[in-house]
Amino acid sequence: MNLEARKVMSSLRQKLVVFALVMAILVPKSDAKCDFKAIFNFGDSNSDTGGFWAAFPAERPPNGMTYFKKPVGRATDGRLIIDFLAQALGLPFLSPYLQSIGSDYRHGANFATLASTVRLPHTSLFVTGVSPFCLAIQLNQMKQFKAKVDELHSSGKANLPPPNIFGKSLYTFYIGQNDFTGNLASLGINGVKQFLPEVVSQIASTIKEIYALGGRTFLVLNLAPIGCYPAFLVELPHSVSDIDSSGCMISYNKAVVEYNYMLKEALKETRKDIPDANVIYADIHSVMLELFQHPSSHGMKYGTKACCGYGGGAYNFNPQVFCGNTKLINGQNLTATACSDPHNHVSWDGIHATEAANKLVADAMISGSYFDPPFSLHKFCDIQPIG
């Protein structure tokens, strides 16, 4: 082989090495291991992957526009925190428990629905918009799911996990926001505070019931700073002096901090009752507050301005015309449309976060920096990159 040929071969080998390294980074390993074989999620619209719209079909664009390119049951432009978590663990997106067509429950199920509460609702969906699928109902659905898995396993039914999956699963909770915000306008902060102990108590008791079913690892997300949400900045009463330098409402955010402390203490007590379980408190509040306060530090432009809404201005939110809807107001058809750059916004529609914000929160969670007590997902799983 002459000198020129050797140079060509050497160059080719170098390119192949680079290609192999790139592929090793980009292509998920088929032998990636994870001790968590499934995720079972309980929550509201912040983690609903299609349950509400399966029960009450009426979804419309622009939800889903960024990642899925169509509405897929999520109250955002793309993926939720729970989606990113599933991807990081090498698991598929969670199928909603209420979705009868096209679901695959081999790696868990999602019991969350939009507008769900922890407490039993004392009103109707068609009166105040509260979901009938509160946490107690979601727990009963989980119990029914386990009973059916145990019953049908021997018959070889497809799309169901094996009966031993429940001790090898991650149980996630992202619920309580609607209990907190649902009556804020009418009752005020002090009125809402009266029943928050019941909320945290019920979350704790639900964890213990799932523990009795075999669950051993529980991840509970606290509440985000609702005082920074465009919808509440428009709808909730407040004075100019109640607005901080980031444009968020001080009093409401303070009340959320108090609730989160109450939740953290309740989970601490729960650990004493089930000492061989992992009961983890995830402080997403700190991450979301940072995004609202300093969006430009994280590659974004707008903290308290919704991407999808109507009215423009500081908040781009009109409570009469919600994202994706058209309404006749004062003789005019008004439509709440989406911006062209949701990646620059923390808020998608005034109440829910954008995919970009959800990814930043998920990244922070997966790093383990916001867990109490300290907990490393990396010890349980070969964490996969989330794009």
Q: Establish whether 169 is a catalytic residue.
A: no
One of 45, 47, 95, 116 is an active-site residue; which one?
45
One of 107, 285, 345, 352 is an active-site residue; which one?
352
Q: Establish whether 77 is a catalytic residue.
A: no
The CA distance from 233 to 248, in Å, is 8
The CA distance from 219 to 39, in Å, is 10
Q: Establish whether 241 is a catalytic residue.
A: no
One of 10, 201, 349, 382 is an active-site residue; which one?
349
Which residues are the active-site residues?
Answer: 45, 349, 352
